[in-house]
């Protein structure tokens, strides 16, 4: 068993930190990530592919949790770096609202992204 641990590549401190952040944001792993990705696809009216939506959702969810002041402008600034062309102003606001709902659900109620659902224009858990 020790030999296998020796052969296992060690994670860099940044990789370890990202894994901890990911586990705290997505405690149910792929189930949570899939739920968030599908909600982003809904917000964007399915105009991008699943893999692109997943990448945007993962990065944005992390930014939303580690930013001190995560407002519409902070999200827009983040998206401008690589994918703003997929969003209009209303979609940025909707995505921001969803990310805030996830933060509240997790922080206040201990819910995960897969436990947050849309009812009309609101998110509930």
* Cα(71)–Cα(85) distance, integer angstroms: 19
pLDDT of residue 67: 92
* Cα(123)–Cα(125) distance, integer angstroms: 7
pLDDT of residue 7: 55
Contact predicate 113/36, CB 8 Å = yes
The model's pTM is 0.86
pLDDT tens track, the chain, 125 positions: 455 555 556 778 878 877 788 888 999 999 999 999 999 999 999 999 999 999 999 999 999 999 999 999 999 999 998 999 999 999 999 999 999 999 999 999 999 999 999 999 899 99
* Cα(114)–Cα(71) distance, integer angstroms: 23
């Amino acid at each position: 068993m020790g030999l296998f641990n020796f052969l296992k590549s060690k994670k860099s401190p940044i990789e370890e930190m990202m894994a901890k952040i990911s586990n705290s944001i997505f405690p149910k792993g792929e189930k949570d990530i899939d739920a968030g990705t599908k909600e982003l696809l809904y917000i964007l009216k399915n105009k991008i592919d699943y893999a692109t939506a997943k990448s945007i959702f993962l990065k944005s969810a992390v930014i939303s949790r580690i930013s001190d002041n995560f407002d519409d402008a902070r999200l827009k600034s983040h998206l401008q770096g690589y994918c703003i062309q997929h969003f209009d102003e209303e979609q940025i606001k909707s995505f921001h609202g969803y990310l805030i709902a996830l933060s509240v659900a997790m922080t206040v109620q201990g819910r995960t992204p897969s436990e947050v659902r849309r009812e009309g224009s609101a998110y509930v858990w």
